[in-house]
Structure 1
Amino acid sequence: MLVAGGIGFGVYHSKHESSSSAPSAAAAPTSGRYVALGDSYTSSPRTGALVGAPPGCDRSDNNYPRLVAAQLRMAELVDASCSGATTANITGPQQTANGVNPPQLDSLDTNTTLVTLGIGGNDVGFIGLAHDCLTTDPAVSPCKARMASGGRDELAARITATTPKIDRVLTDIQAHAPNARIVVVGYPAALPDGGGCWPFLPLGSADVAYLRAAAAKFNDMLAAQAKAHSAQYADTATPSKGHDMCAKAATKWVEDLVPSSPALSLHPNANGQRAMAGVVAAAAG
């Protein structure tokens, strides 16, 4: 029995996870098969106990798919998400540091009633780029200087290149799970409004603005693709404002370079996963 958000429910896993139990008589599930697809913002490394196979996917037992399944009282949850996943790993296998994750699309079938998709950040390369932007001088912004010069914006180009990949993934999901409600999950706001919080977060103010604008453009693209495929969009960025990496430890939903609560750096913590779950559940309901 998995208990999340105070609600118990039976979970019957695919080859991605192999455990099952009977539903609680006090809080019996309704119906429906929920499949969660995505990257580390979905699998939620280090926020809870490691569950599922392969271990290299770093799925936590308190990630938003489990919280959503509890809130909606789904009869079945299959969490196929995997840390480090790109759009290519939705349709193809993913080699992790500890095992191979099958193509996430393999978890879908005609009995699937809900699919959430949180993918694309690794295609654009946001996490790696954030590390490249670090500076000991708040007056300089190495990323913007390098990536947005000479009339070309490299980040904007990466987002444009990712757009048809999201389009293909959504088309494939609809083909494999024609009876499912699809929710595209946006990425929460990791950076604050304004110039940031150097040296706590060692990014120059122009880079903070540049990366924040790129993240907003990326989320806008995800929302547009969701609309084009008659899917729902879960906007996690708007409610996460003020809970970014510069917020106090008890307030932040996204951890900074040195996490102050259990989570991977630059990723949502347990509070962030709970907040995301609320938005996703509302979009799926």
Structure 2
Amino acid sequence: MRRIASLVTCAALVGVGLVGITTTADAKTTPPNAAAASIKTSPYVALGDSYSSGAGILPQVAGSPGGCLRSTVNYSEVIAKTTHPAAYTDVTCSGARTTDFFTPQKTDKGVVVAPPQLDAVSKDTRLVTMTISGNDGGVFFDTFFGCAFLVRSPETGRPDPTGSPCKDANGDKYTKIIEEKTYPALVKALSAVRAKAPRASIVILGYPQILPPAFSPACFAITGISEGDVPWLLNQGKVANDVVRRAAAATGARYVDTATPSTGHDACSGPTNRWMEPLVAPVNALPVHPNAIGEAALASETLAAIGR
């Protein structure tokens, strides 16, 4: 926690408004090898989705596309402040999918939000970081938002914490999407980054823990996830992170496990301890997204993975 605290302090120099998902047992951060100390971090390009952009955390990067919600304290900004690359480009964007590496990112109405993220990568790039794939197939949005407060008691009309309404409605739908569609999409995206930046260290982070491992009424009140849906979502997260890990291994990228270190820092762990904000009354971050402390933690894990 001391390292994370120092990175939060570093982020504060940029300008900061500070205020369950688990991997498989073997899904560890790819360890730095003997060459880690010689990893070059410039030019540095940050790709990825809302977990990479620090969505909702103020202040936002001046001049960046409004829909991308890039924070001045997202984890790549913290990494850049720590490693001091001569060239740093942040093209992270909230809502990004793996397809947005190749084509312009658009809204549901077809309005262009940002150019293809791969446009920022070149043969000279030496470090690339990202979180990506959570939005593929609508998995993240349809589950954490679609499942919240899904059932209401017929007697009181209030949200009902019992049962497993999302699991009952969807079964293994989303884990099949992750295994059958997200995995090959990740391999394609990571392979494309490698093709454009053959000398780069490519680092992909897994997703941190949103929910604690056990249901509680207090957690239900701020996340809306019913008791029986908690283990269902935990398993889905395990599958999602394992797919990221396997795609990294298949393409020579470095995988950073963020679920293990985020244990105990989920959205229900209290406002001064959590790395993730809850669905109800989030503070300076989008709901079920990392806050500034969480972004600093992701930066810390990434820096350790590249030997910095």
Name the TM-score, length of structure 2 as normaliser.
0.79
What is the Cα deviation at residue 48 of structure 1? 2.2
List runs of 5+ in structure 2 lacking aligned partners.
Answer: 1-7, 15-39, 150-158
Higher normalized contact order (CA 8 Å, seq sep 6+, divided by chain length): 2
Question: CA 1:6/1:272 → structure 2, altered by over 3 Å: closer, same or farther?
Answer: closer
8 Å CA contact 1:4, 1:70 repeated in 2: no
Question: CA 1:154/1:72 → structure 2, altered by over 3 Å: closer, same or farther?
Answer: same
Which of 125, 128, 144 aligns to 1:130? It is 144
8 Å CA contact 2:104, 2:112 repeated in 1: no
Q: Is 2:186 the partner of 1:176?
A: no
Q: Is 2:173 the partner of 1:154?
A: yes
8 Å CA contact 1:114, 1:284 repeated in 2: no
Counterpart residue number, 1:60: 71
* Structure with the higher strand share, 1 or 2: 1
Which of 32, 41, 47 aligns to 2:57? It is 47
Task: Name the aligned partner's letter for residue 50 of structure 1.
Answer: Q
Question: CA 1:106/1:138 → structure 2, altered by over 3 Å: closer, same or farther?
Answer: same
Which of 163, 168, 176 aligns to 1:140? It is 163
Counterpart residue number, 2:96: 85
8 Å CA contact 1:127, 1:266 repeated in 2: no
Name the TM-score, length of structure 1 as normaliser.
0.85
Counterpart residue number, 2:185: 165
- 2:224 and 2:184 map into 1 onto residues whose CA distance is 33
What is the Cα deviation at residue 201 of structure 1? 2.7
Question: CA 1:89/1:7 → structure 2, altered by over 3 Å: closer, same or farther?
Answer: same
- 2:112 and 2:9 map into 1 onto residues whose CA distance is 27
Percent identity reads 40
Deviation string for 1:78-133 (max 9, x for gaps)?
00111111111011101259853110000011110001121000014213321221
Aligned residues: 259
- Give the RMSD, CA atoms, in angstroms: 2.1
Counterpart residue number, 1:19: none
Bigger shift: residues 79-88 or 98-107: 98-107
What is the Cα deviation at residue 7 of structure 1? 10
Question: CA 1:227/1:127 → structure 2, altered by over 3 Å: closer, same or farther?
Answer: same
Which of 180, 190, 204 aligns to 2:226? It is 204
Q: Is 2:216 the partner of 1:193?
A: no
- 1:258 and 1:199 map into 2 onto residues whose CA distance is 8
- 2:143 and 2:262 map into 1 onto residues whose CA distance is 21
- 1:182 and 1:191 map into 2 onto residues whose CA distance is 28
